[in-house]
Amino acid sequence: MYSQLFNKLFNFIFYISTKYKIDESHDVSHSMNVIHTSNEIYESELYLDPDLKKFEKTIYISALLHDMCDKKYMNENEGIENIKKYLKNDITDYELKNILTIISTMSYSTIKKNGFPKLDFNEKVFHVVREADLLTSYDFDRSMIYDMRVKGNNFEKSFNNSVDLFNNRVFTYGKDNLFITDYSKKIYPSLESNAIQRINSWKRILKLK
């Protein structure tokens, strides 16, 4: 059902990642992880909220393209315009509007600054994609990759920066009530535990106390 659309979306991700030098911490592999996680949340929530079915395509497109306008790599408005031009002939204006709303308001920093946005469509759609992105951020190695590749730090500095990031941000998601779906509330403690294990594994490798 979605194979032709996904083929076009992945070609766009490859193009934008190359043009704006988006590294592997936010490129196609991350997009794939987010769409799989979005699908898991979506399917787990569907029986509670059947209205989500109408927004399946919106969820999947938002999950795949959410970092293709990331201000860490480009001017956000320019990125939004790129997405708008690329999608306008393949989806309805309503779908496009909702997708652009999701990807421009779902980031952690935006939520911490402004809170959850008031939406004129099913708010669960927004949370499915947003929470999928948060759940994938428990990948500690991904954080180090970003710090090395984008910030240009050496390995030890990137490790320490990532530990600080997890302690001050990632490990606070739960207590900050950033998860509203049952799926995310259930799974995030195990992801947190895995991240702690990976940090401790790196400490052993690096001979750190």
Structural domains in the chain?
3-205 (1.10.3210.10)
Look at residue 79 in the predicted model and tell me its pLDDT: 96
Q: What is the mean pLDDT of each run of 10 residues along the chain (209 residues)?
A: 92 96 95 98 95 97 96 95 93 96 94 92 96 98 96 95 98 96 97 98 89
Question: Whole-model pTM?
Answer: 0.96
195-208 as b/e: b if 16+ CB within 10 A: beebbeebeeeeee
Look at residue 136 in the predicted model and tell me its pLDDT: 98
Look at residue 208 in the predicted model and tell me its pLDDT: 80
Look at residue 1 in the predicted model and tell me its pLDDT: 80
Look at residue 135 in the predicted model and tell me its pLDDT: 98
